[in-house]
Amino acid sequence: MNGQVVQLGSTVVPGDEVRVSGRRVEARIEHVSFLLNKPAGVLCSVGDDRGRSTVMDLVPEVAGLHPVGRLDADSEGLLLLTTDGDLTFQLTHPSHGHPKTYHVWCAEGTVAWRTRIRLVEGVLIGDGFAVADAVAPLPGGCILTIHDGRNRQVRRMLAATGYTVVRLVRTQIGQLDLADLPIGRYRTLDGKDLEALGYTP
């Protein structure tokens, strides 16, 4: 270990180089990923210097764990957290295009069909043009699916069409959905979940 002969059972820490019969031994890193049903009012952040509640307060403490993407504090629903940087890259890079579905309720009620067509055709928001993949009616609002994920994008898209979002819940990322997971609870992702995301560790 690190060029020295050691006894079997010696402790190895990150950064140590271990060789057996001259061949380097690589440790396999086991990553952990969670699916959380984020409540409203909780920050999507690893920490907060003002002492506010974050999503990290709702899951086990694991070194390197971080949220994948973001949901603003006022929004609820499906959020992934992982220690796997490759998974984070795949889920957040625009080239992979994982669709995200939101249930949205508006102060003005159910989003009109003309507005739903506008959202699919695309609307201009602060940082450019934004297009919905699909928009369906929902009593009091709509169900909206997008591929990209700019800051507060769904809220800004609806604001551009004259609607004010009063509640927003992300229900699905790719093939993963909240199912019956209660608000504020989490579950550990397994191999089938990662397959559903098209990810192979």
Question: Which active-site residues does the annotation give?
Answer: 72
Cβ atoms 141, 104 nearer than 8 A: yes
Question: What contacts 161, CB < 8 A, 6 or more positions away?
Answer: 111, 115, 118, 119, 123
Chain length of the chain: 201
d(CA 25, CA 169): 45
d(CA 170, CA 71): 8
